[in-house]
Amino acid sequence: MNGRPALDRFLQTDPRDVGCAEAMDALAVYVDLVAAGAPAEQRYPGIAAHLRACGPCGEDFEALLAVVRDAGD
Amino acid sequence: MIPVNSVVDEVPARLDPESAEWVRVLAVAGPQREAALTRLHGTLLRIAQREVRRRAPRLQITGPEVEDLAYQAAADALIAITGKLGQFRGDSRFTTWAYKFVIIEVSAKIGRHFWRRPAVPLDAEDWDRLPDRFGFEPARVSEWRDLLAALRRAVDTELTARQREVFVAIVLNDVPLDAVALRLGSNRNAVYKMMFDARRKLRAALAANGYLDHDDSRRS
């Protein structure tokens, strides 16, 4: 039953998760750090936890990071 | 014509040169500002077009709707950027800060667009979709039947009415979180928090009954 790990991952919650509002407030700072190769996840573990768990915020993060990386090429 | 943000009375001292130039030009009325707004709008529009096109197939958005959404997102992002220019303190590059607004506008507009699709139920409950949702194989139903039955019981007994409504919409009916928030007159943060609490409760219930391990504080 290979669905168990997927269900388990879906139900996992990280107590460091800061939620959408705080993650979105700091998104530009976080993206600049990631784009620069800085340790964004270590500096902002609560935001990293949220972006892993929240589909919409994770998608916004990936989209903004792609834009910034393209602009830097 | 987009009004000048009168709150911007000085350029924050720690900005990188490019960001400082954007703030300086956008804060003062005149031809330089108009040219900068035109340039910024063009960039926002390209970002919006790319992002809407990337998300469009999954969301069944086609034809002129793609362009309409992109134009609306770029226009609203430009208004948000100029209106909030006084809040920009240089913690990030100006362009990253500005581009965030157009990404957020695209997400918001796609959430609204979702409800234009016919017959999307918020509260219909098709529990038969649950196995496929998590990749349980039909041929091995005897191995997961009890687990999913326990999950369904936990949904019924552990969640509040609102948490249950949100769980059903997102997990069973595959409604995007932003669209759920819109329909409930709520926002992304509040709906995410409801789902966060629901997930924690459901996992605790399944762990208490031996269906999952007791490690719900595990950090990934």
- Per-residue confidence at B155, pLDDT binned at 50, 70, 90? very high
Q: Do A4 and B144 make contact, defined as CB atoms within 8 angstroms?
A: yes
In terms of pLDDT, which residue wins out, B122 or A23? A23
| Domain stops at, among B64, B82, B114 | B114
Q: Could you please report the per-residue DSSP string of chain B? A: -PPP-TT--S--TT--HHHHHHHHHHTS-SHHHHHHHHHHHHHHHHHHHHHHHHHHHHHT--THHHHHHHHHHHHHHHHHHHHTGGG--SSS-HHHHHHHHHHHHHHHHHHHHHTTSTT--SS---GGGHHHHHT--GGGHHHHHHHHHHHHHHHHHHS-HHHHHHHIIIIIS---HHHHHHHTT--HHHHHHHHHHHHHHHHHHHHHTTSS-S-TT---
Classify residue B6: in a domain, yes or no: no
| Domain stops at, among B114, B137, B167 | B114
Residues B187 and B140 in one domain: yes
Classify residue B98: in a domain, yes or no: yes
- Cβ-Cβ pairs closer than 8 A, A with B, add up to 118
User: Is B212 an 8 Å CB contact of chain A?
Assistant: yes
A43: Cβ–Cβ under 8 A, 6 or more apart, which residues? A33
Give residue B126's pLDDT.
Answer: 81
Classify residue B67: in a domain, yes or no: yes
Whether the pLDDT of residue B190 is over 60: the answer is yes
Q: Do A28 and B143 make contact, defined as CB atoms within 8 angstroms?
A: no
Which B positions 122-161 lie with beta carbon below 8 A of chain A?
Answer: 131, 134-137, 140, 143-144, 147, 151
Residues of chain B contacting residue A60, judged by C-beta atoms under 8 Å apart: 100, 103-104, 107
ipTM, interface predicted TM-score of the complex = 0.93
Q: Do B95 and A7 make contact, defined as CB atoms within 8 angstroms?
A: no
- Per-residue confidence at B111, pLDDT binned at 50, 70, 90? confident
| Domain stops at, among B79, B114, B149 | B114
Whether the pLDDT of residue B84 is over 70: the answer is yes
In terms of pLDDT, which residue wins out, B151 or B140? B151
How many domains does the structure of chain B reveal?
A: 2
Whether the pLDDT of residue B220 is over 50: the answer is no
Give residue B188's pLDDT.
Answer: 96
Burial (CB count within 10 angstroms: exposed 0-12, middle 13-18, buried 19+), residue B147: buried
What mean pLDDT is predicted for residues B163-182? 93
Whether the pLDDT of residue B216 is over 50: the answer is no
Q: Of A33, A18, A16, A14, which Cα lies nearest the Cα of B215?
A: A14
What mean pLDDT is predicted for residues A42-70? 97
Whether the pLDDT of residue B128 is over 90: the answer is no
Q: Where are the domains of chain A?
A: 3-72
Boundaries of domain holding B96: 17-114
CATH code, domain carrying B196: 1.10.10.10
How does the average pLDDT of chain B come out, rounded?
A: 89
